Structure 1
């Protein structure tokens, strides 16, 4: 007898429909799976056999052939266990379906429990696009699947419960559609607890308001890392669409759990400096999202930037410019969104004290030069804000007064600036000033004539590239939004230019007095 049931698997961020076709015929007992399955699918034979036994269904002692159509596309993962078991039971006439078979996905344990799999959210979105009315998913994936409206989600706990549903002995419960509220930001608590560094806090507010790439540099222990970690609190809560978008990435990467079935707070990713290129931009035979995609709509923080391999740093150049990354392999090319707020930190030199007024540097000029050469010109050109973080003086470090009022004002200004940007770009795919393309720069960033003259002088004196010019204009647009100004004035341009000073640890850097 022949039977088939629809299923699907993820390929990148998208999904592919897979028709599970089963033929049970007389002949020498065998169990063959064809259709370019991977090792996990081949091992499904024993999982399916044991799970069917626990469900009270006799496993056919005949010739079984399972085909995963289409046969020319490679499949991977254990998500085909459940549909294979159902199709085998139908083909062997162990059960008789009394409804249209829904799309099924799920891994089976040996005792018949349906286990969660990765990529369910993408599969359910794909099933809805194809017109499917219902999907059976593992109970551990039910909440993420229910993020998709307009399609019925049946959470399955055991193989027996799926058999009962198909035969209408007992219909599975329906998981109600629900999008969780976004987690509240905690900007005041995180930033206000940091003593001093008011200039840096202002710069980070500008970065958060327009998604501008930022580089913090200064001596060890000056507060670069803690400041970077506090930036996420300044960002606005995730919208409903953003929750689905980010959760989809984490679902494909297999990072969701039954306890945390979706992402409700903006991501903060801090990879170690030993990370490989594939782990940062994505990779694998069937590419999975890398750190830059997992930080999408959130913050990607590279601590001790020059310690990362040169290949990793250079791999950031294209994603930081295009807000997406394409990972090409022999079998396929996959594109993932990659629009995080990038923040990097570094010391002035390997020992960290070059130019420090209180401690002597132990590095040779050659070591310092080699250290800074790890950051190429094209990469630095993609940084919008470069800030020196000085060491704090004792009086500033021990002051009892916090910056609650300052941080509260910055947070309010950031939210108002973000609202202005949503209004400005409401009919476009742009969602922040850092993404304004060159073609609409003049329309969205009107600059007064006196400001143009200031930019002209800065281009000549600072030897700025055209890319740097456009980034300064975008930065000035964000500063103007923070000041609730429709036009960009020379004050906004002046502040933007201050953030483009080249990295050089001099004694003339702003003092650590907390201004």
Structure 2
């Protein structure tokens, strides 16, 4: 019996564990056994690898072949183990040096002709390889740039099984230049706040939301500008820090989105359609659990347009991620946790036809239909929203030249970054960076409160504020103070925050 081994990685969410791929050949009738808790896609690797090795004119074992994926109790899924399995088999048949193979990590799916194909999650896989102490990694050609985002690794890209064999023998290979495939989701013309005419109250509400990372609920008639305003929120958000950029990029890599242009340094924006399933929004699947839209919006913006049209169970599933910034997805054989700390922007019409209470329009919906439509957004979800803003139709022709040109995103971003800087200085001894993340206990015990708490006490006594609502108002008040350059919140900040929380604010000042 001859035994050889190679290495790959098992991914569970963003966490990766090294997997030793062992191949043992022996005498007997031809038989291939793949053990070690593989899923259906991985079981099919037996046929893919055999065809690839034979198609590349290498010897495939004619007797008993046993392939073991260790540790055996760790669930393994996906097709990226193909190249590691082929390397272990070729080492067992002495086609490649076994010492070289067992000190290398391999990633890539094999075609029947021996071509090496791309895989999802190459960035978190490289992070796992680096943590495990490996220095040499073989990846599919076209993913070397993404793999090289992790420092300290020697990346060898290959296009075919022949090139992997040549590398193991120390023979040079001709490296063709990698081409970057354009990302279809990248907007070539970034949206700017200068495109929004009027709606000064709405733009101010979004500025406050950006400064403190607050959730927003926009409601108003169709075409009033809710989507335009929400889609421009990322343009006034600061760039991601290095650690956040790696985490966000790893999530997008798991979703199969290429990172050929480098780490994602801008806050992501996700706007799923209201027909999206819970699995696509929250994350899930069978054994191959993928991140959902809320995780792809991590450290960015999740915009749910026509929010009442989403399923009630789907919306209610947002409660826990909104509170703790994580989503945990459980299956029989594994539990996966994805980060999901996003800014939620909800948008809704006043009724199904969109014209209930709109001046100059006639609503055609029965009263009970309007009530049911509004009740689709449950109280627990709305209670987690910091800012509620009703958008009114414009009162003048926005096509005409305005007296004062609207502010650009760069101008608004300057104020947002100044406010963020004050928050980071105030919270430097804590694990939080923005007001929207600070727990209520820390707000009440460690940060100074205004002397007059009358607005909060009246809100609690008349039922317009919940205990969570008090914390939301305090966070908003701190953001308002930061935008004004103040070191503590005043009663005026508290009152304005109360009005923003209740959706009754026409811009003050």
TM-score between both structures, scaled by the size of structure 2? 0.91
Indicate conservation of the 8 Å contact 2:240/2:266, yes or no. Answer: yes
Indicate conservation of the 8 Å contact 2:197/2:406, yes or no. Answer: no
Q: Output one character per residue of 1:189-245: Cα deviation in whole Å (capped at 9) or x when no partner.
A: 611111100010000001011110100001111000111001110101222222211
* Cα separation, 1, equivalents of 2:191 and 2:326: 32
What does residue 456 of structure 2 align with? 455
1:85 has 2:86 as partner: yes
Q: Which of 158, 161, 176 lines up with 2:160 in the alignment?
A: 158
What does residue 339 of structure 1 align with? 341
What does residue 227 of structure 1 align with? 229
C-alpha displacement at 1:492, in angstroms? 1.5
- Output aligned runs, 1:194-205, within 5 Å: 194-205=196-207
2:29 counterpart SS class: coil
The 1:445/1:407 distance shift into structure 2, 3 A limit, reads: farther
* Cα separation, 2, equivalents of 1:152 and 1:474: 46
Indicate conservation of the 8 Å contact 2:328/2:335, yes or no. Answer: yes
Indicate conservation of the 8 Å contact 1:10/1:252, yes or no. Answer: no
What does residue 169 of structure 2 align with? 167
* Cα separation, 2, equivalents of 1:483 and 1:273: 37
The alignment of Structure 1 onto Structure 2 pairs a total of residues equal to 497
* Cα separation, 2, equivalents of 1:96 and 1:350: 68
- Output aligned runs, 1:84-103, within 5 Å: 84-97=85-98, 99=100, 101-103=103-105
Q: Output one character per residue of 1:432-491: Cα deviation in whole Å (capped at 9) or x when no partner.
A: 1101012321366422203x2332233334521010000110111111111111110122
* Cα separation, 1, equivalents of 2:118 and 2:272: 26
Indicate conservation of the 8 Å contact 1:78/1:107, yes or no. Answer: yes
Q: Output one character per residue of 1:51-109: Cα deviation in whole Å (capped at 9) or x when no partner.
A: 32344422222221111122233311111111111111111122234535212111112
* Cα separation, 2, equivalents of 1:132 and 1:366: 64
Consecutive unaligned residues in structure 2, runs of 5 or more: 178-185
- Output aligned runs, 1:56-67, within 5 Å: 56-67=57-68
Indicate conservation of the 8 Å contact 2:238/2:266, yes or no. Answer: no
Backbone CA RMSD of aligned residues = 2.6
* Cα separation, 2, equivalents of 1:238 and 1:495: 29
1:329 has 2:331 as partner: yes
Q: Which of 249, 252, 272 lines up with 2:251 in the alignment?
A: 249
- Output aligned runs, 1:91-490, within 5 Å: 91-97=92-98, 99=100, 101-170=103-172, 190-256=192-258, 259=260, 262-286=263-287, 287-400=289-402, 403-405=405-407, 408-442=410-444, 445-450=447-452, 452-461=453-462, 463-490=464-491
* Cα separation, 1, equivalents of 2:337 and 2:427: 24
* Cα separation, 2, equivalents of 1:293 and 1:172: 39
C-alpha displacement at 1:172, in angstroms? 9.2
What does residue 76 of structure 2 align with? 75
* Cα separation, 1, equivalents of 2:411 and 2:14: 39
Indicate conservation of the 8 Å contact 2:234/2:269, yes or no. Answer: yes
* Cα separation, 2, equivalents of 1:186 and 1:95: 46
* Cα separation, 2, equivalents of 1:155 and 1:408: 40
* Cα separation, 2, equivalents of 1:79 and 1:187: 36
Q: Output one character per residue of 1:399-443: Cα deviation in whole Å (capped at 9) or x when no partner.
A: 445644475543211011122223333343212110101232136
